[in-house]
């Protein structure tokens, strides 16, 4: 009988080499052939690993017959310092052993610094275009964001939850919900984990989830996806809905710290300079609208709505007036918020809620929720809803919930703005939109 001990093998990484740890040592390292340049006898083979690329200089004695881009191989040789090489080190290759070969040459120049493709082509060839160093760095940064979200909340006493994506009722209402047949019953894909995270506040007080949500919106804009990753949190025993904004600000500061320390190479490749985040200005909805309209000289069309163009202007205002990429806009009108939003007792036309705008784009929606059963039922009836259809969603309210609130943050939108991408589709590995279901 064999046994498996779980002893991880030591693998030599490209970062070890370009970090200078192996100079003048003989090494063998695997990777994909990122590019291949024959300089008349000597061939420069750039090997791509998960954490970077390294230049391998192959004299004619190294057999490169049948080696092409996107072959995978093990290159053996001696590491030497070479200031002209990317990273400052290269491998003087003695041999290259091919592990696998592509069946066809790449249809696009993956190894170029900028891909230079149009959006449709880049996304249609995503399994290949993601091999581009800058394209893949976007999703390393995205990993950093989600790690920071979990780490920070974990440190703040939150528990991670996993709630169902096939549901009996939508949380956000409206028609933008995907329907499916569930063993002969009508079911939906969750637009958000809203009901479930509220239920779980009754269990763990503070919960979070990072998971896909689904919106059947027929918008085709640069900021909408039909499936995205929502970073959700919900917290009980809040003193006010400002506690939720404080939690988000704490997360963002932690996120930037983590990205700076652990994702510097990816940020550098993307040319991203992270904002120095100390605090986030916070302004009421009506005041934000008024200030932006005055400063940029336009008329407010609808006092109870916030159009994308206005968000853009409020973001600009926050940058110019307060030197901040971020701004919390608070006290949204009840009309723009779902039934679970808590009304402002001082003016019930407004709610104790907020959006976070980042460079003029809404990346988060949050606020205090109604925790009292009678108050929630009353508001639903006032809005023409039938509370009896939401019996299981209101069970937690009926049998007791603390004052609470929470937020939902769109991972792809945050990634998009952080990496200065033009379209949210670039911030999603395999985006789903009106026309895109593949790959």
Which residues fall in the annotated binding site for ATP?
215-217, 223-225, 362, 410-413
What is the C-alpha to C-alpha distance for residues 436 and 226, in angstroms, rounded to an integer? 10
What are the C-alpha distances in Å from 300 to residues 288, 304, 354, 408? Answer: 11, 10, 20, 28
Query: How many residues does this entry show for the chain?
Result: 439
Decide: is 17 part of the binding site for a copy of itself (CB under 8 A).
Answer: no
Angle formed at CA 318 by CA 317 and CA 322, multiple of 5 degrees:
115
Decide: is 162 part of the binding site for a copy of itself (CB under 8 A).
Answer: yes
Q: Is 366 left (phi over 0), alpha (psi -120 to 50) or beta?
A: beta
Among 315, 338, 403, 405, binds a copy of itself (CB under 8 A): 403
Decide: is 350 part of the binding site for a copy of itself (CB under 8 A).
Answer: no
Decide: is 172 part of the binding site for a copy of itself (CB under 8 A).
Answer: no
Shortest Å distance, C-beta 233 to a copy of itself? 13
Decide: is 386 part of the binding site for a copy of itself (CB under 8 A).
Answer: no
Nearer to a copy of itself, 337 or 432 (CB): 432
Q: In the window 54-113, what residues touch a copy of itself (CB under 8 A)? A: 69-72, 99-104, 106-107
Decide: is 258 part of the binding site for a copy of itself (CB under 8 A).
Answer: no
Going by the annotation, the residues of the binding site are: 172, 215-217, 223-225, 362, 365, 369, 410-413
Decide: is 245 part of the binding site for a copy of itself (CB under 8 A).
Answer: yes
Decide: is 39 part of the binding site for a copy of itself (CB under 8 A).
Answer: no
Report DSSP letters for 148-189, one per residue.
HHHHHHHHTT-EE----SEESS-SS-SS---EEEETTEEEEE
Decide: is 319 part of the binding site for a copy of itself (CB under 8 A).
Answer: no
Decide: is 382 part of the binding site for a copy of itself (CB under 8 A).
Answer: no
Decide: is 120 part of the binding site for a copy of itself (CB under 8 A).
Answer: no
What are the C-alpha distances in Å from 51 to residues 22, 31, 133, 141? Answer: 16, 10, 10, 13
Shortest Å distance, C-beta 78 to a copy of itself? 21
Nearer to a copy of itself, 306 or 401 (CB): 401
Angle formed at CA 239 by CA 237 and CA 243, multiple of 5 degrees:
95
Closest by CA position to 344, among listed 286, 410, 402, 408? 286
Contacts of 246 (CB under 8 A, 6+ apart): none
Looking at 20-28, 193-201, 268-276, 336-344, which segment touches a copy of itself (CB under 8 A)? 193-201
Shortest Å distance, C-beta 39 to a copy of itself? 23
Shortest Å distance, C-beta 84 to a copy of itself? 27
* Extended beta strands in 39-136, E state: 43-49, 52-58, 72-81, 89-100
Among 12, 44, 109, 168, binds a copy of itself (CB under 8 A): 168
Q: In this structure, are residues 421 and 223 in contact, taking their beta carbons and an 8 Å threshold?
A: no
Going by the annotation, the residues of the binding site for L-aspartate are: 172, 215, 365, 369
Decide: is 166 part of the binding site for a copy of itself (CB under 8 A).
Answer: yes
Looking at 54-62, 211-219, 302-310, 341-349, which segment touches a copy of itself (CB under 8 A)? 211-219
Decide: is 362 part of the binding site for a copy of itself (CB under 8 A).
Answer: no
How many of the other CB atoms lie within 10 Å of CB of 138? 24
């Amino acid at each position: 009988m064999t046994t498996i001990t779980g002893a991880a093998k030591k693998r030599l990484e490209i970062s070890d080499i370009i970090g200078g740890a192996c100079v003048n040592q003989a090494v063998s390292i695997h990777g994909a052939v990122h590019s291949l340049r024959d300089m008349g006898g000597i061939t420069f083979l750039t090997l791509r690993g998960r954490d970077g690329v390294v230049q391998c200089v192959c004299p004619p004695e190294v057999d490169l017959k049948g080696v092409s881009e996107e072959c995978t191989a093990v290159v053996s040789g001696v590491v030497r310092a070479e200031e002209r090489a990317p990273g400052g080190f290269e491998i003087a290759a003695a041999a290259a052993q091919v592990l696998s070969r592509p069946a066809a040459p790449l249809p696009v120049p993956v190894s170029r610094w900028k891909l230079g493709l149009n959006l449709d082509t880049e996304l249609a060839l995503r399994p290949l275009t993601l091999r581009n160093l800058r394209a893949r760095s976007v999703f390393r940064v995205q990993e950093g964001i989600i790690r920071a979200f979990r780490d920070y909340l974990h440190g703040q006493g939150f528990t991670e939850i996993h709630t169902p994506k096939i549901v009996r009722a939508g949380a956000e209402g409206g028609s933008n919900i995907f329907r499916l047949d569930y063993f002969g019953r009508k079911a939906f894909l969750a637009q958000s984990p809203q009901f479930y995270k509220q239920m779980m506040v009754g269990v763990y007080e503070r919960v979070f989830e990072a998971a896909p949500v689904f919106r059947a919106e027929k918008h085709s804009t640069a900021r909408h996806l039909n499936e995205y990753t929502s970073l959700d949190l919900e917290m009980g025993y809040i003193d006010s809905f400002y506690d939720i904004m404080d939690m988000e600000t704490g997360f963002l500061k932690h996120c930037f710290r983590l990205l700076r320390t652990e994702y510097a190479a990816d940020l550098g490749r993307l040319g991203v300079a992270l904002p120095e985040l100390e605090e986030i200005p916070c302004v009421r909805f009506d005041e934000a609208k008024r200030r932006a309209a005055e400063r940029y000289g336009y008329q407010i069309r609808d006092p109870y709505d916030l159009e994308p163009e206005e968000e853009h202007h409020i973001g600009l205002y926050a940058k110019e007036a307060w030197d901040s990429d971020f701004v919390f806009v608070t006290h949204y009108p009840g009309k723009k918020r779902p039934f679970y939003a808590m009304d402002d007792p001082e003016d019930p036309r407004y709610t104790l809620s907020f959006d976070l705008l980042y460079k003029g784009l809404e990346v988060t929606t949050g606020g205090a929720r109604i925790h009292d059963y009678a108050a929630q039922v009353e508001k639903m009836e006032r809005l023409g809803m039938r509370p009896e259809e939401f019996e299981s969603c209101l069970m937690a309210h009926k049998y007791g919930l603390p004052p609470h609130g929470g937020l939902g943050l769109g991972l792809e939108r945050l990634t998009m703005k952080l990496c200065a991408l033009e379209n949210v589709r670039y911030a999603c590995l395999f985006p789903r939109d009106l026309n895109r279901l593949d790959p």
